[in-house]
Amino acid sequence: MPDDEALLRQWKRWEGGHVLPSPEYQKLIASLFGTVSGALFSAPRSPHEIMATAAPAADTPDLIARLRRSSVDTATMDALRLTVDRLCADYPVVDARQLLVESRAWLSRLADMLDMGVSLTQHREILSLAGMLALLVGCLEQDIGATSGAERTRRSALALGTESDDPNVIGWAYEMSCWFALTRGDYQAVLAAAETGIKAAGDRSVSVQLYAQQAKAWARIGDRRRVEVSLDRGRELLEMLPPPTDPSNHFVVDPAKYDFYAMDVLRRAGDDRRADALAEEVIASSVDWSGRVISPMRAAEAYVTRGVVAARSGDLESAVDFGQRALEGTRQSIPSLVMVGQELGSVLLEQYPNSPDAQEYVTELRALVQQ
């Protein structure tokens, strides 16, 4: 390492926009702030770059016509992959019930394809694609509060992943198990599912999210040391992986998503300064170049985090304002939003028991639970 004066000079030159640190120093700086280098040093993508890398949408009528044939060709399989990827990328922004109907329809079509003349390789890939769609359907069912149906769908996805020998599908099925257990407060189940999922998935991006789920559970149990260990393991793995080609896909872990998970952990651990800083980053990254909100569910939880920090510091007005912003989103994951929203409600009722504004927020949150 250089001496302190040299580090300070380089730091000032970096902040001034004159130099870009080397990859090794990018990792060190990111580690200092509890994030990964891709979140701090990646250049914003222009609309032209986004269009150049985006996969073209499959033409639905043509694809259905292909599916009706007695055999499946390579072009059909390519179009199916694009369709499944598009559905997974629609998850953060499309109405949950609308996307649920479309995803179930495509899952049914994939099931029909298995009765056609497909090769062994195609059979396995169709099962894998069906596993990804089942994962998506399970997430959407959980978002709208259909928790029992979501668990049944998750188990089906796990069976499809096992049959197709797809570690990615298997890993995400266990990640969903972590998510479900977290929202019902079963933290030991979170830890058990995360450990099993990491063993099954290996060094894939889903393991980064499984480490983050571990950290969430440890934060709620109150073990700060294990929180840091889990976050560090996830961060180290994410640094090793290549940048995702389509960060909008729900089943891809990008640096911004990792900041979102770290934000939750730091809020629960009481590290308000770092949690608030990450919440600002999450809110900023939830809007694209045109100002369109592309990650409304992440933004909602970030607003809750800012509300909790404001409430703890004595700023009731900001706390309630942030909390109400979180409840205004049209695309919500109800169990997750209720889970974090209750944290803000508890702080408000504890510190401001006689405040009408605090009572109003809690009433709105209860109304969300009853939907």
257-316 confidence digits (pLDDT tens): 888 999 999 999 899 999 999 999 999 988 888 788 889 999 999 999 999 999 999 999
Instruction: Please indicate whether residue 70 or residue 95 has the higher confidence score (pLDDT).
Output: 95
pLDDT band of residue 199 (cuts 50, 70, 90) is very high
pLDDT at site 60: 59
Whether 53 shows a pLDDT value over 50: the answer reads no
**Confidence at residue 49, expressed as pLDDT on a 0 to 100 scale:** 45
Residue pLDDT, tens place only, 117-150: 788 899 999 999 999 999 999 999 999 999 999 9
Q: Kindly report whether the global pTM for this prediction surpasses the value 0.85.
A: no
Lowest model confidence (mean pLDDT) among 89-93, 128-132, 310-314, 328-332: 328-332
Q: How many Å apart are CA 349 and CA 85, to the nearest integer?
A: 43
d(CA 10, CA 291): 33
pLDDT score recorded for residue 324 = 94
CA atoms of 134 and 197, how far apart (whole Å):
17
**Of all helices (H) and strands (E), which one includes residue 152?**
helix 147-164
Nearest Cα to Cα of residue 302 among 255, 264, 249, 272: 264
Q: How confident is the model at residue 95 (pLDDT cuts 50, 70, 90)?
A: very high
- As a whole number of angstroms, the distance between CA 178 and CA 188 comes to 10
23 phi and psi angles, rounded to 5 deg: -55, -40
Residue 287, CB-side half-sphere exposure with 13 Å CA sphere: 10
Q: For a pLDDT cut of 70, what percent of the chain falls above it?
A: 88
| Residue appearing with tokens 């793995």 | 237
Task: Give the pLDDT band (50/70/90) at residue 41.
Answer: low
How many Cβ atoms from other residues are within 10 Å of residue 59's Cβ? 13
